[in-house]
Chains A and B, each alone.
Chain A
């Protein structure tokens, strides 16, 4: 499994954009970069995934570095509901997902 490095915690003001970084320098060529989040007292929830190109969906955007050694999850307008632990997971679906310690996002009203 590729090792990942994420900040332990970040803060954002409500309705402002948030950029959550992740380093995954040992990622293999076939791994997709997945992002999940875990809201308090809930199971992990899929956010987005990508391979090489930047990706957008209704929840977030994913910016992937050209060398694929890092990526950034972008929440365009943070809401209080976005307060969660965010996990960056390079792997293939079907393999195990290794959840590290993630980044705990606090959204300030």
Chain B
């Protein structure tokens, strides 16, 4: 069964440091997303990405966040200067097309900011 792969599974970083979270989407998928989940809270939408550009982003996705697909395979989320409140589980998700269908989620990357 195809799967979305995320690395690292867990990253610990100091406040103010840059972090890059990586996602390998399923090969024929066209839409990519990042979600986050702070411990004990809801899964929150961050950003969606289609055709090499951001199609939608939430209020959480401020100037400290960026996404790109640098080599046509990895889909990355960068946090430029991490804050304590960025500590969360970050989920990558991908889907083949628009309309109806399954969104495939990765296992998540746990980010701990000290």
B-binding residues in A (CB < 8 A): 32, 34, 36, 38, 42-46, 49, 51, 87, 92-101
A92 pairs with B100, CB closer than 8 A? yes
Q: Report if A94-B31 is in contact (Cβ < 8 Å); known contacts: A44-B91, A99-B44.
A: yes
Q: Give the interface SS of chain A, mostly helix, strand, loop or mixed.
A: loop
Using an 8 Å CB-CB cutoff, how does the interface string of B91-114 with A read, 1 for contact, 0 for none? 101010111111111111000000
Q: Report if A97-B103 is in contact (Cβ < 8 Å); known contacts: A38-B43, A43-B91, A43-B108.
A: yes
A96 pairs with B100, CB closer than 8 A? no
B43 pairs with A99, CB closer than 8 A? yes
Once the chains are docked, how many angstroms separate the CA of A94 from the CA of B45?
12
What is the minimal beta-carbon distance from A103 to any residue of chain B, in angstroms? Answer: 13
A43 pairs with B45, CB closer than 8 A? no
Which chain B residue has the least Cβ–Cβ distance from A101?
Answer: B42
Which chain A residue has the least Cβ–Cβ distance from B48?
Answer: A96
Q: Which of A46, A51, A98 contacts B103 (CB 8 A)?
A: A46
B108 pairs with A51, CB closer than 8 A? no
Interface size class of B (residues with CB under 8 A): 20 to 34
What is the minimal beta-carbon distance from A19 to any residue of chain B, in angstroms? Answer: 23
Q: Which of B42, B50, B99, B106 contacts A99 (CB 8 A)?
A: B42
Once the chains are docked, how many angstroms separate the CA of A28 from the CA of B99?
13
Q: Which of B58, B93, B98, B106 contacts A92 (CB 8 A)?
A: B98
Once the chains are docked, how many angstroms separate the CA of A43 from the CA of B33?
13
Once the chains are docked, how many angstroms separate the CA of A96 from the CA of B97?
13
What is the minimal beta-carbon distance from B6 to any residue of chain A, in angstroms? Answer: 9
6 example contacts (A-B, Cβ-Cβ < 8 A) are as follows: A93-B99, A93-B102, A94-B48, A94-B95, A96-B58, A99-B45
Q: Which of A43, A46, A94, A98 contacts B106 (CB 8 A)?
A: A43
